[in-house]
Structure 1
């Protein structure tokens, strides 16, 4: 199905079923191509049998009110997963709407490997000290290229009512200028906060082009961040190695994050969900 007002775009979601998609558990592997695994590099951070246990607790993906909804497989169990397109994509423009609960640490994977966590990620870390619209390197060095970090605003009863800039004094994942400097373009946190719709739908547009890609993210028509992965300099990131490792095409995927010792349910709330709708793509 094409969208009459968006020539060249094709729908990836029929609004009723998960036809064209498949799910996998959220597992871990080498933290850069040819590098150590997380267990080898950071002993004790995750269990040696983590991947085997994760396979028993895939995230649950449903269709509700014409939207894809992702949740952990039982409230508060702490395991995650991915929902992937069956088809692989190289260069494209991707558009969709997203509506995450607070807290829900999710993201959009690009050129993702089918059975591992490896790929480029557009961040939708809707939790304390998270960032939205920047980039992360899943298993391709762990680069964190973001323009700002966020926290939640609450009312007098402690109910979340919106987002605000993360306070460095209370941050659990400090924002640094070095993270912003990985980007070629970015908006200000004030511009982002003025456009983000809390507890509502937000329109994403992602442009992703090149063997060693250039990428840009817009939310509600505001350019959030751009990056040039061919030129980016980061420890253990080699653009040629990543291009060879991921290949010219990969899956697009949505994420339900697992919880960890540091953030616990601050990463994914006990009953949290993220919702996705109007998912369409134009191959370039």
Structure 2
């Protein structure tokens, strides 16, 4: 009888404890995706990421599975030198390969926050294509001559005078504060909000590696390193289905 009572107690205890465990796999400590989104960064390690530089995704995607696995393993040696995790934040020292998702994405909505320092430069690659620009928007940053005075969030590698190359408004927050991006990519069109202000409105992203060719249908999301510490947190993604993508691109039945 005593043994049966203990057994019943242990089962009840396990049920009680399990009720307190979040059911959603993405709900790590301090990482809580909005409804419909999943976490690309789990808040504790670099699982789900590897390292790529400014490389044509078509080339490394053409590698054999063995060669690609070798490339990924080698990249992590560099990533671990320059990337770390602190307090649910991804931290980069301004050098090394770009932190890149192992998963390749087609159409998606990306949410993230970043914080950087004076004179730093960074960006976000979409499907492996540069880039949503992040930089020092002040005169002291030394890049007013190439457009930094207009602020972050533009598709900087687009040709001059193309829609989206320069942000519609200056939306950067002062250094030391967290900035938030909402990036929507459907087909070859990109819409970007920086700190809830529209900075790019349905602009075409040019294929940097094949300027006359189409964008890759799928590719990684990459966080660029380009001098100066930058921190990232709350990196969430929602994949966009075909019907929603067509609506975003303006197709009608």
Identify the TM-score tier after normalising by the shorter chain: 0.5 to 0.7
Q: Could you tell me which runs of 5 or more consecutive residues in structure 2 were left unpaired when the two chains were aligned.
A: 1-25, 60-74, 241-253
Please say if 1:10 is aligned against 2:20: no
- Is the partner of 1:188 in helix, strand or coil? coil
- Is the partner of 2:124 in helix, strand or coil? strand
Match of 1:242 in 2: 214
> Bigger radius of gyration, 1 or 2?
2
Match of 1:133 in 2: 153
Match of 1:183 in 2: 164
Give the TM-score, by structure 2 length.
0.62
Q: Which whole-Å deviations, capped at 9, do the CAs of 1:195-227 have from their partners, x for residues lacking one?
A: x242111111000111xx110111111111224
The answer on whether the counterparts of 2:33 and 2:39 sit within 8 Å (CA) in structure 1 is no
Cα offset for 1:57?
A: 6.5
Q: 2:88 aligns with which of 41, 66, 80?
A: 66
Judging changes above 3 Å, is the alpha-carbon distance between structure 1 residues 184 and 226 closer, same or farther for their aligned structure 2 residues?
farther
Please say if 1:22 is aligned against 2:50: yes
Match of 2:99 in 1: 83
Match of 1:160 in 2: none
Judging changes above 3 Å, is the alpha-carbon distance between structure 1 residues 27 and 68 closer, same or farther for their aligned structure 2 residues?
same
Cα offset for 1:28?
A: 6.2
Aligned-residue CA RMSD in angstroms? 3.4
- Is the partner of 2:214 in helix, strand or coil? helix
Give the TM-score, by structure 1 length.
0.56
Distance 1:223 1:254 in 2: 21
Q: 1:252 aligns with which of 221, 235, 238?
A: 221
Match of 1:204 in 2: 181
Q: Which whole-Å deviations, capped at 9, do the CAs of 1:28-58 have from their partners, x for residues lacking one?
A: 67xxx9xxxxxxxxxxxxxxxxxxxx99966
Q: Could you tell me which runs of 5 or more consecutive residues in structure 1 were left unpaired when the two chains were aligned.
A: 34-53, 73-78, 113-118, 138-142, 145-177, 258-267
Whose RCO is larger (CA < 8 A, sep 6+)?
A: 1
**Could you say which structure has the higher helix fraction?**
2
Distance 1:56 1:11 in 2: 24
Q: Which whole-Å deviations, capped at 9, do the CAs of 1:163-210 have from their partners, x for residues lacking one?
A: xxxxxxxxxxxxxxx54x523995333xx25xx242111111000111
1:144-223 equivalences under 5 Å are 144=159, 178-179=160-161, 181-183=162-164, 186-189=167-170, 192=171, 196-210=173-187, 213-223=188-198
**Could you say which structure has the higher strand fraction?**
1
Q: How many residue pairs were aligned?
A: 185
Distance 1:282 1:201 in 2: 21
